[in-house]
Amino acid sequence: MWRSDQRGNREFAHGKEAWGLAAQVAGGCACFVADVEEEQVVEEELSCYNCRYRRWSVDSFTCLRLPPLNAAA
């Protein structure tokens, strides 16, 4: 589901059009916060694509809220 980008950020591994997966992740994420309305990009509100903590990258987005994948447990 996730991969590390070059800076070690947690990047969604499925790009910008994996609507079902993005909704599934957000549905199971206790950290979801809806972004302001003009930044929401999909109709279904509960989606990483609409989350305040996603930052668009070239191919996908990174999540600024969940810990990096390589963080010590």
Q: Residue numbers of the site for ligand SF4 (CB under 6 A)?
A: 25-26, 29, 31-32, 48, 51, 53-54, 63, 65-66
Q: Smallest gap, in angstroms, from Cβ of residue 6 to ligand SF4? A: 19
- 66 burial class (0-12, 13-18, 19+ CB within 10 angstroms)? middle
Decide whether 18 or 48 has the Cβ nearer to ligand SF4. 48
Specify the 3-state DSSP secondary structure of 71: coil
Decide whether 18 or 25 has the Cβ nearer to ligand SF4. 25
DSSP, res 4:
E
